[in-house]
């Protein structure tokens, strides 16, 4: 029996979670698109940001929404310096080297998190409340995460469309050699892209800390969702990636309620495989 | 030969025999009365999750084993009768990173390279089941601690011994409470896709149906789920009296949080493992009010001890050594050590097959509670659970009533 109230709740649930999956994937998409490397440490960076938000909350009672600008700044600095320090040596080598580098980095990060904060589950018990609108419950923390995601995404989008560095980044994505030949400092663009990408990734980590509990090993799951969203939405296509994340959230929610949640990851990944087959048809 | 010569010979012979026997008896008695200390230690081998998903309980379990090692060594070690020697205990362990592949590799290594004397299981049913496959292959005894899926004990394995109450019994007390308080209760059982959680859920379902409780939902969620709103939305319209189930840590905290966000009010909510740790309260604060969970042990219970230290001694020594509070994982791990000690003392040997047989007749009570196995399967049948409830930021024992530290809050306050 179809119940419109439940259906609306299902859509709301899917949208709220999907926005988090989407924003979490944008940084991965950006690095992959601009630098041509897959950041396997992406999940660990997300969780690192969640722990940063946790520290601010437990020490000063600051909710993640206030911490997120700080996390963005830290993320930018980490990304920029990571590229200037090691990243530039890795990016110029073959792809398997960069995969190994980022894999090693993810181990280093997750074990450092484990040693600093211990293995216990952490969560931020801030605003565990909901609005009720005509039988549909809208969790406030998740609503805030959605609104912040939209605002930060629009800022990122404007940055890429309107500013010199945004245009330079897009030029490098379109044609690396061409961009260099018109005087764009590609190396610097790479560093800034990595900074922006980790900035937005750290932002997503604070949003995750706002809505979900986490442990030092939670990053793997988010990496998996992010990876799927990037492939589904298009590498380097940040709008596509965000929408793909929302799509994954909606599919999970619909399948979970109208079939069973135990198969929802399988369904999401079957859709992913179909999309890959259709989009990347033809081969060489 | 004349009679005299014969009798002289006899007397001499008797005297010689008496002297030889006397010296022999003297030597044996002397040896019995002053056993020596073995040059080599008795090595207990295991893998444990220091990192990965099971790191929290894994580390607590390890702390319990380490403390037992110190305790038994301070008592001089374990006496092995057939060698008339006291063995000091040494631990040989590795981090299995909560991974099955690591467990397979490490148990092969512990048995073949390290040649440990007795094996303990890793934490979690999934990993213990994997380890049991290896130890059984070599016919080696493994004392299972930190794992209680009934599946482990249904494989026909001949060399395992359990220390936890079986998973299938973990929610039966919650169902008993419900039956006492509500007429014709209905429940939703939701659980993680995991060997342990599945065993608990299936056991709870069977028990509920046998008692006439209406199980209106029986749903599993994926291991890596980051959103439990689908499964909760599905049961929201069913107006159940109770939600039973869960899995481990991240997912259970999420389950509570999202149940509140979605406004799902029930009279009773019992999870499986996370509420026994203080981190559960820190992550949820007042949202934890009234949430129940079974526990294998709580320090407030006072069993009549036949073996090992008292609860107070255990608590004091644990705090001294680790500067933290023990959990049931730690207590059970310490008790597993006491259980092994009792079996070795009973069997008088380190021979694994004879030790396994010795466990069949053991019935001991440690500070962790009673321990007695079903001889056929090795599953634990003597140990009893208690039920915890978070009340005003305090973890209270509310069931069974004889050991309760606070009155059960029922129904659970609405969110």
The secondary structure of chain B, three-state, reads CCHHHHHHHHHHHHHHHHHHHHHHHHHHHHHHHCCEECCCCEEEEEEECCCCCCHHHHHHHHHHHHHHHHHHHHCCCEEEHHHCEEECEEEEEEECCCCHHHHHHHHHHHHHCCCCCEEECCCCHHHHHHHHHHHHHCCCCEEECCCCCHHHHHCCCCCEEECCCCHHHCCHHHHHHHHHHCCCCEEEEEEECCHHHHHHHHHHHHHHHHCCCEEEEEEEECCCCCCCHHHHHHHHCCCCCEEEEECCCHHHHHHHHHHHHCCCCCCEEECCCHHHCHHHHHHHHHHHCCCEEEECCCCCCCCCCCCCCCHHHHHHHHHHHHCCCCCHHHHHHHHHHHHHHHHHHHHCCCCHHHHHHHHHHCCEEECCEEECECCCCCCECCCCCEEEEEECCEEEEEECHHHCCCCCCCCCCCC
pLDDT of residue A173: 85
**ipTM confidence score:** 0.95
Range A130-143 average pLDDT: 94
Quick check: bond before B411 cis, omega within 30?
Answer: yes
CATH number belonging to domain B169-295+386-403: 3.40.50.2300
Question: What pLDDT is recorded for position B300?
Answer: 85
Higher pLDDT, B241 or B57: B241
**Total domains in the fold of chain A:** 1
Give pLDDT, residue A275. 83
For A148-207, the pLDDT digits (tens) are 999 999 999 999 999 999 999 999 888 889 999 999 999 999 999 999 999 999 999 999
Please say if the pLDDT value at position B86 is more than 60. Answer: yes
Secondary structure element (H or E) that encloses residue A20, with its range: helix A4-35
Cβ neighbours for B344, distance < 8 A, ≥ 6 positions apart: B78, B79, B80, B350, B355, B358
Residue A284's pLDDT band, with cuts at 50, 70 and 90, is very low
- Residues 210-229, chain A: which have Cβ within 8 Å of B? 212-218, 220-222, 224-225
Q: State the span(s) of chain B assigned CATH 3.40.50.2300.
A: 42-165+300-371, 169-295+386-403
Q: How far is CA A190 from CA A81, A92, A185, in A?
A: 11, 11, 9
In a domain, A4, yes or no: no
Asked if residue A138 belongs to a domain, the reply is yes
Position B358 scores a pLDDT of: 97
In chain B, what's the furthest Cα-to-Cα distance? Answer: 110
- CB spacing of B262 vs A9 below 8 angstroms: yes
pLDDT above 50: residue B6: yes
CB contact under 8 A, A252 and B282: no
Q: Nearest chain B residue to A8 by CA: give it.
A: B233
What pLDDT does residue A72 have? 98
**Of the candidates B228, B19, B53, the residue with the CA atom closest to the CA atom of residue B126:** B53
**Contact (Cβ atoms closer than 8 angstroms) between residue B253 and residue A213:** yes
Q: What's the CA gap between B204 and B198, in Å, rounded?
A: 10
CATH number at residue A72: 1.10.3470
Q: How far apart are CA B201 and CA B124, in angstroms?
A: 16
Q: Given phi > 0 = left and psi -120 to 50 = alpha, else beta, which region is B142?
A: beta
Is residue A3 included in any domain, yes or no?
A: no
Average pLDDT, chain A: 93
Residue whose C-alpha is closest to residue A101's, from A31, A167, A185, A166: A31
Q: Which of B59, B224, B230 is facing A253, going by the closest CB pair?
A: B230
A147 in a structural domain = yes
**Stretch B286-313: mean pLDDT, rounded?**
93
Name which of A256-270, B142-156, B382-396 the model is least confident about: A256-270
Answer whether residue B25 shows pLDDT above 80: no
C-alpha A104/C-alpha A112 separation (Å) is: 12
pLDDT of A283 over the 90 cut? no
Query: A119 vs chain B: nearest CA distance in angstroms?
Result: 5
The alpha-carbon gap from A177 to the nearest alpha carbon of chain B, in Å, equals: 41
Position B21 pLDDT exceeds 80: no
Across the interface, of B222, B261, B283, the residue whose CB is closest to A264 is B222
**Torsions phi, psi of B242, nearest 5?**
-150, 145
Q: Do A261 and B258 touch (CB under 8 A)?
A: no
Taking the CA of residue A137 and the nearest CA in chain B, the distance in Å comes to 6
Contacts of A257 in chain B (CB under 8 A): 230, 233-234
For residue A92, the model assigns a pLDDT of 79
A128 → closest Cβ in B59, B249, B287: B287
Q: Give the distance between the most distant pair of CA atoms in chain A.
A: 64
Question: How many angstroms separate the CA atoms of B169 and B270, rounded?
Answer: 13
Tokens of B361: 């007749």
In the DSSP assignment, the letter for residue A87 is: I
Please indicate whether, in this complex, the C-beta atoms of A119 and B55 are within 8 angstroms of each other: yes
> Does B234 contact A257 at a Cβ distance shorter than 8 Å?
yes
The shares of helix, strand and coil residues in chain A, as percent rounded to the nearest 5, are: 80, 5, 20
Task: Looking at the complex, report in whole angstroms how far the Cα of residue A194 sits from the nearest Cα belonging to chain B.
Answer: 26
pLDDT at B204 over 50: yes
Residue A275 lies in a domain: yes
Q: Which residues of B touch A142 (CB under 8 A)?
A: 261
Residue A258 lies in a domain: yes
**Residue A56 belongs to some domain of the structure:** yes
Please, which pLDDT band fits residue B31 given cuts at 50, 70 and 90? low
Per the CB < 8 Å rule, is A9 touching B249? no
A214-218, A273-277, B169-173, range with the lowest pLDDT: A273-277
- Compute the distance between CA of residue A49 and CA of residue A67 in angstroms, rounded to an integer: 10
User: What are B79's strand-pairing partners?
Assistant: B86
CB contacts, 8 Å: B329 with chain A = none
Nearest CB neighbour to A214, from listed B221, B250, B280: B250
DSSP state of A263: G
Residue of A nearest to B234 (CA): A257
Pick from B56, B285, B287: which is nearest to A120 by CB? B56
Q: Is A2 a member of any domain?
A: no
What's the CA gap between A77 and A71, in Å, rounded? 10
Cβ of A121 and B260 within 8 Å?
A: no
Mapping DSSP to helix (H, G, I), strand (E, B) and coil, where does residue A183 land? coil
Contact in structure between A215 and A120 (CB atoms under 8 Å): yes
Residue A95, both tokens: 């792809």
Q: What is the pLDDT of residues A208-257, one digit of tens each?
A: 999 999 999 999 999 999 999 999 999 999 999 999 999 999 999 999 99
- Cα–Cα distances in Å, from A109 out to A41, A42, A219? 8, 10, 10
Among A274, A125, A85, A142, smallest CA distance to B287 is for A125
* Residue corresponding to tokens 């604070």: A206
The shortest CB-CB distance from A130 to any of B220, B222, B261 is to B261
Q: What average pLDDT does this structure show over A138-143?
A: 97
Q: How far apart are CA B52 and CA A109, in angstroms?
A: 13
Residues 51-80 (A) with a CB less than 8 A from some CB of B: none
Chain B touched by A106 (CB under 8 Å):
no
Q: Which residues pair with B91 in a beta bridge?
A: B44
pLDDT digits (tens, 9 = 90+) for B312-371: 999 999 999 999 999 999 999 999 999 999 999 999 999 999 999 999 999 999 999 999
| CA closest to B236 among chain A residues | A6
Contact, B185 vs B399, CB < 8 A?
A: no
Position A100 confidence tier, pLDDT thresholds 50, 70, 90: very high
Confidence (pLDDT) at B4: 74
CA B324 – CA B315 distance, rounded (Å): 10
Q: Under a CB-based contact definition with an 8 Å cutoff, are residues B65 and B120 in contact? A: yes
Residues on chain B bordering chain A, Cβ-to-Cβ distance under 8 angstroms: 51-53, 55-56, 58-59, 98, 193, 219-222, 224-231, 233-234, 236-237, 249-250, 253-254, 257-258, 260-263, 274, 277, 279-280, 282-287
Which domain does A118 fall in, by range? 9-279
Average pLDDT, chain B: 93
Q: Each residue of A106-133: b (16+ CB within 10 Å) or e?
A: beebbeebbeebebbbbbbbbbbebeee
What DSSP state is assigned to residue A235? T
- Give the number of A-B residue pairs with CB atoms closer than 8 Å: 140
Sheet strand arrangement including B89-95: B89-95, B42-48, B118-120, B142-144, B160-162
In CATH terms, B42-165+300-371 corresponds, of 3.40.50.2300, 3.90.850.10, 2.60.120.260, 3.30.499.10, to 3.40.50.2300
Specify the higher pLDDT residue, B405 or B29: B405
């Amino acid at each position: 029996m179809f119940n419109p109230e439940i259906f609306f709740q299902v859509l709301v649930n899917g949208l709220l979670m999907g926005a988090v999956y989407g924003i979490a994937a944008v940084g991965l998409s950006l690095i992959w698109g601009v630098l041509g490397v897959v950041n396997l440490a992406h999940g660990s960076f997300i969780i690192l940001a969640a722990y940063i938000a946790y520290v601010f909350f437990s020490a000063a009672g600051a909710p993640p929404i206030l911490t997120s600008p700080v996390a963005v700044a830290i993320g930018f600095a980490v990304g920029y310096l990571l590229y200037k320090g090691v990243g530039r040596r890795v990016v110029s080598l073959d792809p398997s080297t960069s995969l190994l580098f980022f894999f090693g980095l993810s181990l280093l990060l997750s074990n450092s998190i484990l040693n600093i904060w211990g293995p216990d589950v952490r969560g931020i018990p801030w605003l565990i409340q909901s609005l009720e609108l005509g039988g549909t419950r809208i969790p406030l923390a998740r609503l805030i995460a959605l609104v912040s995601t939209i605002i930060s995404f629009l800022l990122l989008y404007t940055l890429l469309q309107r500013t010199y560095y945004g245009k330079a980044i897009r030029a490098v994505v379109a044609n690396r050699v061409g961009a260099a030949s018109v005087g764009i400092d590609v190396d610097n663009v790479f560093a800034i892209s990595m900074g922006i990408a980790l900035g937005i990734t750290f932002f997503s980590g604070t949003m995750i800390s706002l809505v979900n509990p986490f442990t030092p090993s939670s990053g793997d799951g988010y990496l998996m969702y992010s990876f799927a969203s990037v492939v589904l939405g298009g590498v380097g296509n940040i709008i596509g990636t965000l929408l793909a994340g929302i799509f994954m959230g909606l599919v999970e929610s619909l399948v979970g309620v109208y079939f069973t949640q135990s198969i929802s990851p399988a369904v999401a990944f079957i859709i992913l495989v179909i999309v890959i087959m259709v989009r990347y048809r033809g081969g060489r | 030969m004349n009679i005299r010569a014969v009798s002289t010979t006899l007397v001499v012979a008797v005297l010689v025999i008496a002297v030889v026997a006397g010296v022999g008896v003297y030597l044996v008695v002397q040896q019995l009365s002053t056993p020596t200390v073995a040059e080599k230690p008795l090595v207990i081998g295991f893998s444990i999750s220091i990192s990965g998903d099971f790191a929290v309980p894994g580390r607590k379990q390890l702390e319990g084993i380490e403390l037992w090692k110190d305790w038994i060594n301070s008592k001089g070690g374990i006496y092995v009768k057939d060698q008339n020697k006291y063995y000091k205990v040494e631990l040989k362990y590795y981090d299995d990173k909560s991974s099955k592949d690591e467990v397979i590799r490490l148990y092969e290594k512990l048995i073949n390279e390290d040649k440990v004397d007795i094996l303990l299981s890793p934490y979690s049913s999934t990993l213990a089941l994997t380890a049991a496959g290896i130890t059984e292959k070599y016919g080696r005894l493994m004392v299972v601690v930190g794992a209680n899926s009934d599946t482990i004990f249904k494989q026909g394995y001949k060399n395992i011994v359990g220390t936890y109450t079986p998973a299938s019994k973990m929610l039966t007390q919650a169902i008993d409470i419900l039956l006492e308080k509500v007429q014709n209760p209905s429940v939703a059982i939701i659980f993680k896709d995991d060997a342990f959680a599945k065993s608990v859920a299936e056991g709870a379902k069977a028990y509920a149906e046998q008692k006439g409780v209406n199980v209106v939902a029986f749903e599993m969620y994926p291991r890596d789920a980051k959103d439990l709103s689908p499964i909760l939305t599905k049961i929201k319209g069913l107006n159940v009296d109770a939600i039973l189930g869960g899995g481990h840590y991240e997912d259970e905290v999420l389950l509570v949080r999202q149940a509140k966000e979605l406004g799902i009010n029930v009279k009773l909510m019992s999870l499986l493992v996370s509420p026994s740790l203080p981190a559960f309260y820190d992550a949820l604060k007042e949202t934890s009010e009234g949430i129940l969970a079974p526990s294998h042990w709580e320090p407030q219970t006072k069993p009549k001890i036949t073996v090992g230290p008292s609860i107070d001694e255990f608590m004091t020594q644990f705090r001294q050594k680790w500067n933290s509070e023990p959990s049931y994982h730690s207590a059970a791990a310490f008790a597993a050590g006491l259980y092994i000690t009792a079996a070795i003392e009973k069997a008088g040997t380190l021979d694994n097959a004879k030790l396994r047989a010795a466990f069949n007749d053991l019935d001991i009570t440690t500070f962790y509670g009673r321990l007695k196995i079903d001889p056929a399967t090795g599953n634990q049948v003597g140990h009893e659970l208690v039920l915890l409830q978070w009340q005003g930021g305090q973890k209270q024992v509310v069931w069974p009533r004889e050991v309760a530290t606070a009155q059960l809050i029922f129904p659970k306050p609405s969110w």
